[in-house]
Structure 1
Amino acid sequence: MNISAIIIDSKKTARIKIENLINDHSSIHIIGNFETGKEALKQINILKPDLIFLETKLDDITGFDIIDQTSLSFKPKFIFVTAHENFARKAFDYLAFDYILKPYKEERFLRCLHKVLDYIRREKLLSVNMQNIITAIDNKKNVGNGKISVKSGNKIFLIDINSIQYIIASGYYIEIFTSDNKKYLLRESLSSIITRLNSSSFIRIHRSTIINSDFIEEIISSNYGEMDVKITGTMTNFRVSKSYKKMFQGTIRI
């Protein structure tokens, strides 16, 4: 199984060191080596690497900017190799696989490498098996009629579409909230899930929010043109962003 990787670091010596250590593993193929974050961003969503080694601070942007702007259509593992120890907690909040502090010993890097390679191999095998199961489920006539299959961790749930109240983007993941007070965390984009739901009841009101219009309890407008939506059974008002406001108003005809 070939695993692809790219390296992003403003210092050439740092990139060379990582490249030399990776080259000892025939299963990893380096497909990109970038000095700046903006240069890397132009290629990441095209190259779709399995692994991304990056610094927290680059000459132009940060490693966190890169994660924020990486497409959710594929799922790379981010490994920070950095001279800045004070960003470790933030890195793991961003679901980084590891955080290697410079200067580091070869053994430390190789230990991380072996761990992530094993993880990716198992993840790819599990993903294939899970996808086969999901496809088989969705092809059955008695499923897909009002239900959606959702893979979360090593489980597949069949969720009644009509029970979904709202969906929130959370980093690389989305959270599905249902009327029976359950929450499902899965690694998928909002664009992908709303396509799979295939229902006019679901409306995107923000780049990070989808709501089920059947659960709208109140629509609150301010004198400043702002608009919030209250969903039945929740304590939170969901803001309708300017870019989605016209589409929202047209859909619910207000």
Structure 2
Amino acid sequence: MKIRVVIVDDEPLARLAVKVRLAQRDAFELVGEFGDGDSAHEGILALKPDLVFVDVEMPGKTGLEMLAALAPAQRPMAILLTAYDSFALQAFQLAAIDYLLKPVDDERFDDALDRAQQAFPYRGQVRAAAPAAPAIHTFSVRNGSRTVLVPASEVERIEADGDYATLHANGKTWLLRERLHHLIMQLDPRQFHRVHRSSIVRLDMIAELCPLTNRDALLRLRDGSVLRASRSYMPALTAALQQLNKNAE
């Protein structure tokens, strides 16, 4: 079953960019596009899409206002598009599955579609629910002739190494034959976030976030290591950290 998609953006070129990328993924089918929030609201009610790409800022009703006006049972999965990073928490509250900064690079766009495919089987059960439960609870890694089981809950960060990924857990490193692009789909987004093309971090390992002038950030982890978080991943990371802190209160 294909995932039915609607695009909502007041810029025709922005809609075209999404359409071109969607056409490369057989699992998705475009069923409608709209240039303003009011017509999008009516269109979504009529078409009942599974997924909507929404521009946050549009003339008249904004993308966030349009989504908020839909009852949770009527609200499709949403991927937000914006040139600004100040709407992350609102996106999280509306259960958006991703938040993409314009101009969107191809890898981040693919990450967002992967999240949609991951969440799609669970959408009918709870329309505005959290993303799907993680598929990975334990990593199986080779250590010479032995197979070592590394619980996902003990993994502090994961770094890309060509076709491999390096797991960092309890002061040890383990090499796993898997790309980060596939790993992030199988990890619980309430615990793990991709912060860069080359790194995934467990959220509760972040001790300090220092913004940089180019809208990237430096992350200092509790083990003393420092990682760079790129600007395209920052909105979703910021929202996830705010929610983590809220849950801890």
Q: TM-score, normalised by structure 2?
A: 0.48
Q: Whose helix fraction is larger, Structure 1's or Structure 2's?
A: 1
Which of structures 1 and 2 has the larger relative contact order (alpha carbons within 8 angstroms, sep 6+)? Answer: 2
Structure showing greater Rg? 1
